[in-house]
Each structure stands twice: as C-alpha cells, then as structure tokens.
Structure 1
Amino acid sequence: MAASDLAQTSTNPGPEQREEILAMGERLFGTGSPDFQRTLLRQVHSSLWLPSSQTPDQRKAAIRAALWALKEIVPSDAAEGLLAAQMVATHNGAMECFRRAMAEGQTFEGRDVNLKHAQRLSKTYLDQLAALDKHRGRGQQTITVKRVNVEAGGQAIVGSVQTSMTGGPAQPRAPHWRWREGRRGGVRGLRSRN
C-alpha cells in the first residue's frame, strides 16, 4: 500500500493530514525515495493479518499500529528502513502464530507447530534487533585479555570488573582465585577461596 493509498484510507483526512501522511515515508524508512517508500509500505501492509471479518476501523487501526512501530524504530538510512520493515513483519507473524496456537479447538499438534513457529520468529526478531543495534554501533563490545604479566610486588585481579552506572570508579568483584605469595615475595600459584 503506497503512502498516497494510506492517506485515502484514513478516516477522511484533510489536506494537512494527507500531506503529513505522505511526508511520513522518509521518517518511516530512512530515505526520500518515493519508489522505495511505496514498495516497503506495500510489503509491510501485505505482512499484516487483515481478515475480512475485521471492520474497516479495525483494519485501519492495524495499519496505523504497524506504521507507528516503523516510526518508533526511527530508521536513519535505507538499510535500517529495510530492517525495520522486516522487524514489523516478523513481529506480526509471531503474534499470528501465538494467536493460532491458542485458538479454541486447536489440536495438540496444531498448537505445537504454531508455538514452534512463533518461537523461531521471536528469535529472528531478537536477531534483527541485535543487527540493528550493531548497525547503529551499539552492539555489545567485549575486550579479551590474552596475556598478563605480574611483576614481583604487583597485584592482579582474576575475575570480572564492572564499572558503576554513575561513572564512578570501577568496583572489582571478589575473585574466585587469589595469587599466593611465597616466603620470599615470589608468586607460588593460585589458591581457591573455597
């Protein structure tokens, strides 16, 4: 469904509302290309479950909810726009599988199959969310220390160190293992606290 089609399906939008809906495309998909916007809007619309038993108001609400979800993802470029559209489709698919699994009169096998599909789609959604964070540079960063030299008289912490949320100094967690000093100040080995 193109943005212009969406504008016409809204509840009698005035000229100002129609312009707002048409301008929404760049905020939804991170690009100003009208063809790109129309294609993704059509794809997102096709991914929605809009049965004929729903009233026109229910269908419009579902479309508005999907557009709201796209808007809240705030894609900054075309790649994020594509991912945002996939995330909305994946979420809608997972929720439909959950709905079908819980339908009255559903067989055990039908429930099992739908719950498995919902689980896969939910995992896919989390993977998409991680990909979006990675693309935005907010992915989890890990530092691995391969080798540490501790000179005589030095100290080392074996365990994890966490920084405080207020930006204060790091608070070391109590290590499970401690260095043991020998009689002449040299390091003899590791000793368990237990």
Structure 2
Amino acid sequence: MNSEHIIARFQLSPTAAPDQGIDTPKKRASAVMLPLIDVDDHAHILLCKRPIYLHHHPGEICLPGGKFEASDITLRTTALRELHEELNITPSNVKVFGQLPLYSTLTGFNISPFVGMLNKHTIWENDHNEVQASFLLPLRDLTNEANWQPLPFQRFGKTIILYGYNTPHGLLWGATASIIKNFTKQLALPV
C-alpha cells in the first residue's frame, strides 16, 4: 500500500475533531510528525533514535517532534519546526494531510500527532545533537500483529500492557508505538 492509498483511507475515516494540545497545569503541549514516504511503491514511516546522552528519553525510538514554543503559531508549526530541526526536512517537502487525536502521556505531555507525506525525493540529514539515527519502517510490517510483543508493567499496583516493536535500532514502544497503532487503526488496517 503506497502513500496515496494511505491518504485516501485516512481521509475516508476521520476521527473526532482533534483536541488542541494546549498546556495545562499538569501537561505540557507538544507535537510530533508522523512522516510517510514511499519506497518501491510501499508506504514507510520515518523514525528517529535519540542519542543516549540526552537527559530525557535517551536512546528511544521516536517520531520527529518536541515541545510547543512561544514562537510557534500552532502545534502544526511545532511539528514542522521539529522535523526541520531534527532531520533538516523543510516544510516545503511535507504535505500535512491530517491530525490524529491528542495523546496524553504518563510523563506529563499532551502530544498532538500530525500526519504528513514527504516528497518522494526528500533527503534528510540527522542533527546529531538530537538524532543518533533515522530510519524507515514499512507500514505493512507495522500492521502485522505478529511483529508486536506485549510489554507488561506495573503502574499504581495495576498491570498495564503496552506493545513494542523491535527495530534495527532498538525497541519501538510507549507513546510513539501507541500513536503509530492509533494511526493504523484509523486506516482500518490490522494491528
């Protein structure tokens, strides 16, 4: 399935109006971009691995994104700015075609995920202060339930099950995994 099919499915199955991920007393507004690009006529998601020396989420697999800043006009602006800062992809190389519902994390963030398609000849370059590695994962592999593993953990005395996906650069889990799974569910693809 290529990006054109993905866009059509995404637009045919709208979610409820996305929440605005504004700062609240307990949550900080942030945004991520879920960037799609076709390779051999199949849609792939571009992901990053954070450097291990960072204080927050060291070595984790993530979507390009970060905190809302006062200079950002909207959370969409935040997602595009972060994509440019982290991977040197200019907004002119991205067509943002939708937004997923707000995702609230246990670590105190309201994440507004945006979905964008990269121009097919887009070349990116990691900002090594923010990105240790960047890589593509085929969407078809991310929709295969057999590729996901349950990750049970304890929170306030209750067992919670998250799901993880092994990548060549480490485990994809947490908020990023949940956002990707929400995206594929909206497309009515099995995950």
Does the alignment reach a TM-score above 0.5? no
Normalising to structure 1: TM-score of the pair? 0.24
- The structure carrying a bigger strand percent of its residues is 2
Structure having the higher Rg: 1
Normalising to structure 2: TM-score of the pair? 0.24
- The structure carrying a bigger helix percent of its residues is 1
Larger relative CO (CA 8 A, sep 6+): 1 or 2? 2
